A and B are shown apart, each in its own frame.
Chain A
Amino acid sequence: MSPVILQILTLTGLILVGAGCQESPTTHHSKRKLVITGSSTVAPLMAEIGKRFEILQSGVRIDVQTGGSSRGIADARQGLADIGMTSRALTSDETDLHGTAIARDGIGVIIHTSNVVSALDDGQIADIYTGRITNWNAVGGADALIVVVNKAEGRATLELFLKYLNLINTEIQAHVIIGDNEQGIKTVAGNPNAIAYVSIGTAEYDARREAPIKLLPLGNVPATLETLRTGTFPLTRPLTLVTKAPPSGLIKTFIDFARSPDVHDLVTQHFFVPIQS
């Protein structure tokens, strides 16, 4: 075999390895280790809570893996993970699982700070996302084409946003499709005519670090931690920990810890609202 062919085969192998690396969490049943998988919105917070928990309970390991809310549900159901994370409430066909809310987050619409538009009503947002409004001047902005940023399949943020606007994903006319919140924020920060929707927690966190983005009010309610706390913001979601059986033992200890005032500072740091138990 000539060297070229060999090299190309190696290359193919590398691509395939990339495609195939889909690691499932280890099913470890010694309860000194907790595997937690799911929502990328909850994961960073959970990793921090896990670290603090490991310090308090010596010998316990908390393993946090990201994979979206659907994966969190599926892994908890199949027992691949001890705890699943979802960034939405459990639905009616998920009643076999036990969910515990640990914090509250909202989904907010973001645009570039240089955009003069300061508010959009729900109908306008729906029209922008379905391609009926394509220019910012139709909603009081400059004469520029709107760049619509949508989320990729399987994200809870996408599901909730569509449900709020009464749309289905096939109706959306997007120009950019993003994976996680950060990519959405970078896209809007780099494009003055873009519009996206992301976790309010992540948006606030980045806006404080001088990302040129602004959160628009939704249904006339400003997207702030305050309106999330009082419950007036229309598009909120509970960040939920999901277990197959009612939590007991170490799992219960951990979930109780994740809801306790001991971690409220971490929850607030991530710009989520702690659940007052």
Chain B
Amino acid sequence: MIWSRSTFLSPSNRDRLLVWTLRGAAGIAGLILLFIVAFLILEALPALRTLGLIRFVTDPSWHPGEEFYLMLPMMWGTLFATLGAVVLATPLGLLSALFCRWYAPKPIARTYRRFIELLGGIPSVVYGFWGLVVLVPMISRLHPPGPSLLAGIVILTIMILPTIALLADASLAKVPQEYIRGAAALGLGRWAIIRGVVIPAAKSGLFTGVILGTGRAIGETMAVLMVCGNVVQTPQSLFDPIRTLTANIALEMAYALGDHRSALFVSGLVLVGMILTLVSSAEWISRGRIYG
């Protein structure tokens, strides 16, 4: 064959250089991750050895000063806040992208997209500050005390909305024009085209946006620290204060010594575990199809 791989892509020296540079870069990226995980495990080991895993779920409370290390309520806190934010932000993001792509007049769509981009660029500590001085007092009037799971969910929703909306917008834009023209030629209306053709075709991008948004919500620290109240308890209602795992690390790391410090690295490991579960369940749900 004339078009065999070896003749078509004859490896020149320059190619080889490029390939090795790329391999090096990929290797470094992978190694950094491995180093971080190894460091985390190393730092968490003393606590795992002296306290054991079971005490993180059976201790009466989280009071490291008195040797109590219950971590379960903070895992619930992280989970509820993330879940709430994703449940709210996903439809909002999708609708905002649909509005932008399909319903808004051009100038409005362009301005609107700029606004969403701007929203995505605001640093999290600014969201946190806004939450602390505006949102929390508002919730406090509704139902005291104010700093609560609800405040965390609202802040996280606003923070991950741009991620979901912009990725949804981009993937809607990538749907091939032929599909849409074909659907239109069949006499379908605008909503029928969107529901029957555009959304299924853009599914992978929409899914990516949600996964990235979820990752951001799990990892967010500063804003959540400022509005959630940071009381270690399993929330019974939306108005109960909670502490997330990330907030726990930020709040106590600089002040922690010995087992306490090591226990905070365990919460870091738990966070990694949660992200890994998220990634692998995303893989499992899509089973190779969705990124195609």
Mark A residues whose CB is within 8 Å of B.
2-5, 7-20, 22, 66-68, 70-71, 74, 144-145, 147, 152-155, 168-170, 174-179, 183, 186-187, 190-191, 193-194
Which residues of chain A come closer than 8 Å to B92, judged between CB atoms?
A: none
Q: Among B33, B225, B230, find the residue whose CB has the most chain A CB atoms closer than 10 A.
A: B230
Q: Among B226, B229, B250, B264, find the residue whose CB has the most chain A CB atoms closer than 10 A.
A: B229
Identify whether the interface residues of A are mostly helix, strand, loop, or mixed.
helix
15 CB contacts below 8 A, A to B, read A2-B291, A8-B278, A8-B279, A8-B282, A11-B215, A11-B275, A20-B40, A22-B253, A147-B145, A154-B255, A169-B63, A169-B66, A176-B145, A177-B230, A177-B241
Determine which of B32, B43, B231, B275 lies in contact with A177 in the assembled complex, contact meaning CB atoms within 8 Å. Answer: B231
Complex CA distance for A68 and B265, rounded to whole angstroms:
19
Known A-B contacts A16-B272, A186-B133; A153 and B64 likewise in contact (beta carbons under 8 Å): yes
Q: Judge whether B229 and A175 touch: CB under 8 Å.
A: yes
B268 in the interface (beta carbon within 8 A):
yes
CB of B13 to closest CB in A, whole Å: 28
Q: Judge whether A153 and B255 touch: CB under 8 Å.
A: yes
A-B contacts at CB below 8 angstroms, number? 159
Q: Judge whether A193 and B32 touch: CB under 8 Å.
A: no
Determine which of A3, A11, A20, A144 lies in contact with B144 in the assembled complex, contact meaning CB atoms within 8 Å. Answer: A144
What 6 pairs between A and B have smallest CB-CB spacing? A154-B255, A68-B255, A19-B268, A175-B145, A177-B230, A15-B219
Question: Whose C-beta in chain A lies nearest to the C-beta of B256?
Answer: A154
Which residues of chain B come closer than 8 Å to A14, judged between CB atoms?
A: 219
Q: Judge whether B252 and A154 touch: CB under 8 Å.
A: yes
CB of B149 to closest CB in A, whole Å: 13
Complex CA distance for A10 and B216, rounded to whole angstroms:
11
B254 in the interface (beta carbon within 8 A):
yes
CB of B181 to closest CB in A, whole Å: 29
Q: Judge whether B147 and A68 touch: CB under 8 Å.
A: no
Mask of B196-215 contacts with A, CB within 8 angstroms, 1/0? 00000000000010011001
Question: Whose C-beta in chain B lies nearest to the C-beta of A162?
Answer: B65
Question: Whose C-beta in chain A lies nearest to the C-beta of B143?
Answer: A145
> In residues 249-277 of chain B, which contact A (Cβ within 8 Å)?
249-257, 260-261, 264-265, 268, 271-272, 275-276
Determine which of B132, B212, B271 lies in contact with A4 in the assembled complex, contact meaning CB atoms within 8 Å. Answer: B212
Complex CA distance for A122 and B39, rounded to whole angstroms:
46
CB of B116 to closest CB in A, whole Å: 19
B246 in the interface (beta carbon within 8 A):
yes
Mask of B108-128 contacts with A, CB within 8 angstroms, 1/0? 000000000000000000000
Complex CA distance for A191 and B143, rounded to whole angstroms:
12
B146 in the interface (beta carbon within 8 A):
yes
Mark B residues whose CB is within 8 Å of A.
29, 32-33, 36-37, 39-40, 43, 60-61, 63-66, 68, 132-133, 136-137, 140, 144-147, 208, 211-212, 215-216, 218-219, 221, 225-226, 229-232, 241, 243, 246, 249-257, 260-261, 264-265, 268, 271-272, 275-276, 278-279, 282-283, 291
Determine which of B132, B225, B255, B283 lies in contact with A5 in the assembled complex, contact meaning CB atoms within 8 Å. Answer: B283
Complex CA distance for A133 and B144, rounded to whole angstroms:
15
Q: Among A3, A155, A175, find the residue whose CB has the most chain B CB atoms closer than 10 A.
A: A175
Determine which of B36, B43, B145, B221 lies in contact with A13 in the assembled complex, contact meaning CB atoms within 8 Å. Answer: B36
Which residues of chain A come closer than 8 Å to B33, judged between CB atoms?
A: 9, 12-13, 16
Question: Whose C-beta in chain B lies nearest to the C-beta of A186?
Answer: B132
Complex CA distance for A30 and B136, rounded to whole angstroms:
49
Q: Judge whether B229 and A13 touch: CB under 8 Å.
A: no
Which residues of chain A come closer than 8 Å to B271, judged between CB atoms?
A: 15-16, 19
Q: Judge whether B211 and A175 touch: CB under 8 Å.
A: no
Question: Whose C-beta in chain A lies nearest to the C-beta of B251?
Answer: A152
Determine which of A2, A170, A174, A193 lies in contact with B68 in the assembled complex, contact meaning CB atoms within 8 Å. Answer: A170
Which residues of chain A come closer than 8 Å to B66, judged between CB atoms?
A: 168-170
Which residues of chain A come closer than 8 Å to B250, judged between CB atoms?
A: 18, 179
Q: Judge whether A19 and B255 touch: CB under 8 Å.
A: no
Q: Judge whether A191 and B140 touch: CB under 8 Å.
A: yes
Question: Whose C-beta in chain B lies nearest to the C-beta of A66?
Answer: B254
Which residues of chain A come closer than 8 Å to B243, judged between CB atoms?
A: 177
Q: Judge whether B36 and A16 touch: CB under 8 Å.
A: yes
Complex CA distance for A67 and B256, rounded to whole angstroms:
9
Q: Judge whether A20 and B36 touch: CB under 8 Å.
A: yes
Complex CA distance for A17 and B246, rounded to whole angstroms:
12
Q: Judge whether A176 and B229 touch: CB under 8 Å.
A: yes
Question: Whose C-beta in chain A lies nearest to the C-beta of B205?
Answer: A4
Q: Judge whether A187 and B147 touch: CB under 8 Å.
A: yes
Known A-B contacts A19-B249, A169-B63; A187 and B144 likewise in contact (beta carbons under 8 Å): no
CB of A156 to closest CB in B, whole Å: 10
CB of A271 to closest CB in B, whole Å: 23
Complex CA distance for A154 and B232, rounded to whole angstroms:
15
Which residues of chain A come closer than 8 Å to B221, judged between CB atoms?
A: 18
